[in-house]
Amino acid sequence: MAEEANLEIEDASKRKKKLVIIIAAVLLVVGAVAGYFFLMGSDKSAEGLSDGHASTEEASAVNGSLAKVGSALYVAMPRPFIFNVPGSSRDRIVQISVQLLVRGAINEEIAKKHIPLIEGKLLSVFSTTSADELSTSAGKETLRFAALEKVQVALMDVEGSKVIERVLFTGFVMQ
């Protein structure tokens, strides 16, 4: 009789464990589905507008304004910039890896076509700075904005539009 009571207790605890596991699995699935719809719910409204993106990109590229419509694409510079900068105590060597943020496939192709021009402008901006300026985050931001302005002006002269939305430093080493 005592053995039957032990078996019933073991069966009850096994059932409770199974029930807890099943409830946890169901909650996990429901949470995953809810998370998916929460994060991906706005795609349907974006799909409806996607037909007008190409014509808007072309029109803004022709008008000389920066194409804010379209997906964000990144154009990587083929190699990092390595250059010397003067410092207050000694000269330093700096290596900066750069990527360019553009909007739309048209601007991506334009940026890729003019990589030598962009590299030249970036190197000229980078060579005007000092190690003391680059040692602070504010100095790095100033350099990034100066690089963006120079690249946008150069591309405006050649293509008639700014093309580049941001210059991003993806790697920064100073020795």
pLDDT single digits (tens) 95-123: 999 999 999 999 999 999 999 999 999 99
Give the model's pLDDT for residue 89: 87
pLDDT tens profile 74-91: 999 999 999 999 988 889
Domain ranges of the chain: 2-41, 64-174
Q: Domain 64-174 has what CATH class?
A: alpha beta
Position 19 confidence tier, pLDDT thresholds 50, 70, 90: confident
Position 4 confidence tier, pLDDT thresholds 50, 70, 90: low
CA–CA gap between residue 164 and residue 97 (Å, rounded): 16
Does the pLDDT value for residue 157 go beyond 50?
yes
Token pair for 70: 């379209």
Position 66 confidence tier, pLDDT thresholds 50, 70, 90: very low
**Residue located via tokens 């430093």:** 169
CA–CA gap between residue 160 and residue 137 (Å, rounded): 32
Segment 32-44 mean pLDDT? 68
Q: Which of 64, 68, 76 is nearest to 155 (CA)?
A: 64
Does the pLDDT value for residue 168 go beyond 80?
yes
DSSP secondary structure of 109-144: HHHHHTHHHHHHHHHHHHTT--HHHHTSHHHHHHHH
Give the model's pLDDT for residue 68: 56
The pTM of the full predicted model, rounded to 2 decimals, is 0.58
- Cα dihedral 37→43→44→46 (10° resolution): 160
Q: Is 166 helix (H, G, I), strand (E, B) or coil?
A: strand
